[in-house]
């Protein structure tokens, strides 16, 4: 099992949900966390919930502003001299039909969920190589199969698998890569999900409120990363279709069309 004691762990999307819970988990293992997202006030709140808040750093970052990433990397290196783990967690979901979603919204979803993590990874990679570090990518079961109202979100998550599986091969022996695919997790992700016009969905969907506890999810992500697993599926019965699609595709298509989209 890998140890995160005294490791510098940079988490995007740390102001809420899975990212905030991952910060708690890594901090409890003795890591120093760099907490990034757009909402600085919320990041401060998360930091103050961690054991030894003074050990951790709040670093506001917008995943759509890749021109700011080199400075952000410099800031972390100035503060701690190294980066051991990058957790590409920040993301935004979608609640709109493909046919009705504007191309501008498609671009926004790809920017936050795919190009942002890719650009940040490229900026951090030289330092992860130096520390023989690790990248943890928070994909989704929507990275394994398409689903109602999630066309571009699912496309971005599928794209993460293509990119990070390739990177894992290229960096073998230098940088570890773990891809986590959560199912339905109890976080406010549906609140900020974008509709066809790029407005917030602003509703807590049943799929979220009845989902897996976020701390249980974060614990499973960290356990998979500590074991250097290449991929992990996390959730309740909603992860079964991933196996159906692989082994019984006919059954998959019959079952998936009856699942609730919200
Ligand atoms: N909850 C689920 O059921 C579920 C299932 C599968 C996968 N996931 C994935 O898990 C990850 C975390 O989601 P969550 O469930 O924890 O949702 P969440 O509570 O809504 O958290 C999303 C995080 O992403 C950040 N974020 C959004 N847009 C950003 C941007 N442009 N730049 C930087 N940060 C941004 C948000 O912070 P700011 O608003 O402060 O920027 C927030 O910290 C996402 O990648 C999501 O796709 C979630």
pLDDT by residue (tens digit) across 167-178? Answer: 999 999 999 999
pLDDT at 44 (0 to 100): 98
Q: Catalytic site residues?
A: 153
Q: Specify whether the backbone of 225 is left (phi greater than 0), alpha (psi in -120 to 50) or beta.
A: alpha
pLDDT at 79 (0 to 100): 98
Name the residue with the closest Cα to ligand 1, atom 27: 91
Residue 25 main-chain phi, psi, to 5 deg: -65, -50
Q: Which residues in the chain land under pLDDT 70?
A: none
Task: Report the C-alpha gap between 38 and 42 in whole angstroms.
Answer: 9
Task: Determine the distance separating the centroid of ligand 1 and the alpha carbon of 131, expressed in angstroms.
Answer: 27
Task: Determine the distance separating the centroid of ligand 1 and the alpha carbon of 254, expressed in angstroms.
Answer: 30
Q: Tell me how many degrees the CA angle 183-133-233 measures, rounded to the nearest 5.
A: 15
Residue 24 main-chain phi, psi, to 5 deg: -60, -45
Length of the chain measured in residues:
262
pLDDT at 215 (0 to 100): 98
Task: Identify the structural domains of the chain with CATH numbers, from first to last.
Answer: 8-256 (3.40.50.720)
pLDDT at 142 (0 to 100): 98
133-152 residue pLDDT tens: 999 999 999 999 999 999 99
Tokens linked to 145:
């199969």
């Amino acid at each position: 099992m890998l140890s995160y004691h005294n490791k510098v762990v940079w988490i995007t999307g740390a102001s809420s949900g899975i990212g905030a819970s991952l910060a708690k988990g890594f901090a409890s293992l003795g890591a120093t966390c760099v907490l990034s997202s757009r909402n600085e006030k919320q990041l401060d709140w998360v930091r103050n919930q961690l054991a030894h808040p003074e050990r951790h750093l709040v670093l506001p970052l917008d995943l759509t502003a890749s021109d700011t990433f080199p400075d952000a990397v410099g800031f972390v290196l100035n503060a701690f001299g190294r980066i051991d783990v990058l957790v590409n967690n920040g993301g935004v979901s979608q609640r709109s039909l493909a046919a009705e979603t504007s191309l501008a919204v498609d671009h926004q979803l790809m920017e936050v969920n795919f190009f942002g993590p890719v650009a940040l990874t490229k900026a951090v990679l030289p330092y992860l190589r130096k520390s023989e570090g690790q990248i943890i990518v928070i994909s989704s079961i929507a990275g394994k199969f398409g689903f109602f109202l999630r066309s571009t979100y699912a496309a971005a998550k599928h794209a993460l698998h293509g990119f990070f599986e390739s990177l894992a091969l290229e960096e073998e022996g230098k940088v570890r890569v773990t891809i986590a695919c959560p199912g339905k997790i109890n976080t406010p992700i549906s609140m900020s999900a974008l509709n066809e016009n790029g407005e917030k969905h602003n509703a807590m969907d049943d799929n979220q409120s009845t989902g897996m506890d976020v701390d249980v999810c974060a614990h499973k992500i960290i356990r998979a990363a500590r074991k250097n697993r290449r991929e992990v599926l996390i959730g309740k019965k909603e992860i079964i279709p991933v196996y159906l699609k692989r082994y019984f595709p006919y059954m998959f298509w019959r079952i998936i069309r009856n699942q609730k989209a919200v």
